[in-house]
Amino acid sequence: MPDSTPDSFRHQGLRQQLVEEVRKKGIRDVRVLAALGRVPRHAFLDNVFTELAYTDQAMPIGSGQTISQPYTVAFQTELLGVEERMKVLEVGTGSGYQACILEEMGARVFSIERQRALFHATRDRLKEMGRKIKVFFGDGTLGLPAFAPFDRILVTAGAPSVPEALLEQLKIGGWLVIPVGNEEIQKMMRIIRISESEVESETFEDFRFVPLLGQEGWRAIR
């Protein structure tokens, strides 16, 4: 069960320490740091992990999935360069934590998850929290054509390659942030759609995500 205890002074204090830790690791965007300081990460975790919620670690969230490490969330969010009112698609809702950070940045967030149990639990949690994030069940490697195009797309699972459908659903001038590599390690990439048919890409540091499964992801019998 998610921790239903309200946000206490203790949680807030621990969260400020976490923000400081993430800042020291190199995240400089003050809007990202402020968002990290506002979202109660403990509320996305099982009670047994409450004590660890404000350490800079990934944590299990059920269905064999994880909530990303806060540094990773901050890194991806910073690269995404979200501005107020932008339409953002997240692939891999998981716990919903990253989606809340995006909403705190002022984005209109659409998020898609392929694990049914996780989708239901997270949709309910976000609703209870009063969040406006729109959560969908399905294969996010195919994007969300009914709501495209997006200003930004963020993939929070490790991809074998960049899904075509996601590039197609980016606005011209839109940005896609996605970890690409093998199942063990991925390089963070930022791809900018500069015209109908051209993209520019940049490569950043290594990360380790759970696999992006699906038609344009890893084909797995899972």
Burial bucket for residue 202 (CB in 10 Å: 0-12, 13-18, 19+): exposed
Binding positions for ligand SAH, 54-73, rule CB under 6 A? 65-68
- Give the position of tokens 């797309």: 153
Residue 123, classed as helix, strand or coil, is helix
Q: Which stretch binds ligand SAH (CB under 6 A): 7-15, 94-102, 127-135, 170-178?
A: 94-102
Q: Tell me the closest approach of the beta carbon of residue 74 to ligand SAH, in angstroms.
A: 12
Q: Decide if residue 179 touches ligand SAH (CB under 6 A).
A: no
Q: Decide if residue 156 touches ligand SAH (CB under 6 A).
A: yes
Q: Decide if residue 109 touches ligand SAH (CB under 6 A).
A: no
Which residue of 103, 113, 143, 170 would you call a contact of ligand SAH, by CB under 6 A?
113
And the tokens for 187? Answer: 């390089």
d(CA 155, CA 166): 10
Q: Decide if residue 192 touches ligand SAH (CB under 6 A).
A: no
Provide DSSP, 68-120.
PPHHHHHHHHHHHT--TT-EEEEE--TTSHHHHHHHHTT-EEEEEES-HHHHH
Binding region for ligand SAH (CB under 6 A): 65-68, 91-92, 94-95, 97-98, 112-115, 118, 139-141, 156-157, 210, 212-214, 217
